[in-house]
Structure 1
Amino acid sequence: MCPLMLNFIYRRVGEEPMKTIDKTVRVLDALTETNGARVAELADRLEMPNSTVHAHLAALKRHGFVRSSGDHYALGLKFLFYGGAVLYGNSEYSLLDSKVTMLAEETGERAQFITEQNGRGFYLYAETESDTAVQTDVRMGKIVDLHPTAAGKAILAHLPRERVDEIIDQYGLDAYTEHTITDRDELLAELDRIRERGYSVNDEERIPKQMAIGVPVLDKLGEVVGAFSVSGPAHRIRNEEHRARIISLLLGTANEVELNLVYQ
């Protein structure tokens, strides 16, 4: 966050810089979760004074991070600039967009790519190319827990054990459905199976009646970059022929990306 913005907020609300950053991030998170809101609504949600929320919003608006219509505030387009810098400025990610589109086209299902940051899963790409593909709450930039998703489990399976323990300790293993793995030992055993067979399965663990297959992508040092996944209605993914084709496409796609990462 730029020093000028921090100084502006600091002068308005008299906070220490680190506390200012924390509160600004909370305001941005609330704007994201609500898809925009009024000052009073944000103040109630965040349990902050109206004046404090308004000061943070005013500073964010001055720098293009927030836009407003009257008393209603929403995220600004400045975030697209930073998002583009992340996606297109990282050679590891530049290969992925076309691969996700190809997976969606070839399978007739929804395809996505997730990477891990700070113990959470971030959707970098999500694509639906077929009328039969199921629309879900997934979108670029969405943040999810790793343990109930196919791509997330594929990532966890290729992180060091101590890192997996840290993530579980920090975020827990919340139940999203009756099928979510919420026991540490059970999850660790599942991660062992994923490493052995090369792919992960989410069988109605995050969304009822939805199933997904995930495959990790490793860099030239063998460290996990992220994971592709293909998801759809459980009854379709359980079809042996369809499922086998999805697994084959995912494994082949991940292998192609890994080769590009090695030789680029």
Structure 2
Amino acid sequence: MIERSDGRTLKTTRTSLRILTLILEHDGLTLAQLDGMVESPKSSILSHLNTLCDSRYLVKSDGTYHVSFRVALLGETVRSRYPSRESVRTVLEDLAERTGEEANFTIFEHGRLLLFHGTSGNAATEEDEADYRSEYYLHNTAAGKAILSELDPKRVERIIDKWGLPRESEATITARERLFDELAETADRGYGVVDEEFAPGLVAVGAAIHSADGTVLGGLSVGGPKYRVDRTRIDHELGEQLLDAVQSLESSLRS
């Protein structure tokens, strides 16, 4: 996946996409609401809205703009390039049942992880789980570290240049040198580990998932609260269970 563009980009296109994203995130917005969110003249925002409506990416109802169903259909077309939800769900549910912890599969795209599907084990509770998110950084997630450990160092640098190393908890690694040291250990180990780096009290292990041609498709991870998931359990149980699940999922992708 590309983390940077070597060619010219268009500010107007970025604005249209920003408007589309805001409308999707807020499940509908009016022109007046967008006027307070987008740094463009109100007349320009309206032109973007008219263009998106004319292109059938938006629909307007009683003054409120919504993302169109056509966008959902386009999204389904994109899904055909990725594993079926059923195949992923089967592996995740088995991993979650075996470990009693939360398991997730994420897609690697443009230097970020996008949540594809997640499930919780029998021992997981609502209080144990971190706040729901659909997009993650690589440097402070177990699957993200595993993916970074497989990439060329120059590509890792480009990802860091684009997204930075934001601190999301006190334990988050924010220094490049320390991150590269951690990635070397991850490569030797075969899977990534985060110890409260994503969220306080959360420990997880993760590994890269490869498509049939060997390219990195995404990541598989499993984890839970620190009082249940310690390094001894990781080294003697979770790591092996994770890698077994990786093998199972990759086998289904090759079939």
Q: Give the TM bin, normalised by the shorter chain.
A: 0.7 to 0.9
Kindly provide the CA deviation profile for residues 24-64 of structure 1, in whole angstroms up to 9, marking residues without a partner as x. Answer: 11112222444443322222211122233233334434555
2:97 paired with 1:105:
yes
In structure 1, distance between residues paired with 2:84 and 2:217: 8
The equivalent of 2:218 in structure 1 is 226
2:241 paired with 1:249:
yes
Structure 1, unmatched stretches of 5+, are 1-16
Residues 120/242 of structure 1: CA separation in 2 closer, same or farther (3 Å cut): closer
1:237 alignment partner, SS class = coil
In structure 2, distance between residues paired with 1:65 and 1:136: 33
Residues 92/191 of structure 1: CA separation in 2 closer, same or farther (3 Å cut): farther
Q: Is the 8 A contact 2:99 2:121 kept in 1?
A: no
In structure 2, distance between residues paired with 1:67 and 1:204: 42
In structure 1, distance between residues paired with 2:165 and 2:115: 19
The Cα RMSD (Å) is 2.8
The equivalent of 2:132 in structure 1 is 138
Residues 188/82 of structure 1: CA separation in 2 closer, same or farther (3 Å cut): same
Alignment partner of 1:152 out of 135, 144, 159: 144
Of structures 1 and 2, the one with the larger relative CO (CA 8 A, separation 6+) is 2
- Residue type of the partner of 1:175? R
- Residue type of the partner of 1:158? E
In structure 2, distance between residues paired with 1:58 and 1:129: 46
Kindly provide the CA deviation profile for residues 81-129 of structure 1, in whole angstroms up to 9, marking residues without a partner as x. Answer: 2322222333588742322233233333221112221112222222235
TM-score, normalised via structure 2 length: 0.82
TM-score, normalised via structure 1 length: 0.79
In structure 1, distance between residues paired with 2:231 and 2:61: 50
Alignment of 1:1-264 (within 5 A): 18-62=10-54, 64-90=56-82, 95-128=87-120, 130=122, 132-133=124-125, 134-139=128-133, 142-219=134-211, 222-238=214-230, 240-241=232-233, 244-261=236-253, 263-264=254-255
Residue correspondences, number: 245
Residues 83/247 of structure 1: CA separation in 2 closer, same or farther (3 Å cut): farther
Shift of 1:237: 1.6
Residues 233/37 of structure 1: CA separation in 2 closer, same or farther (3 Å cut): farther
Of all paired residues, the percent bearing the same amino acid is 32
In structure 1, distance between residues paired with 2:197 and 2:27: 26
Structure 2, unmatched stretches of 5+, are 1-8
Q: Is the 8 A contact 2:206 2:219 kept in 1?
A: yes
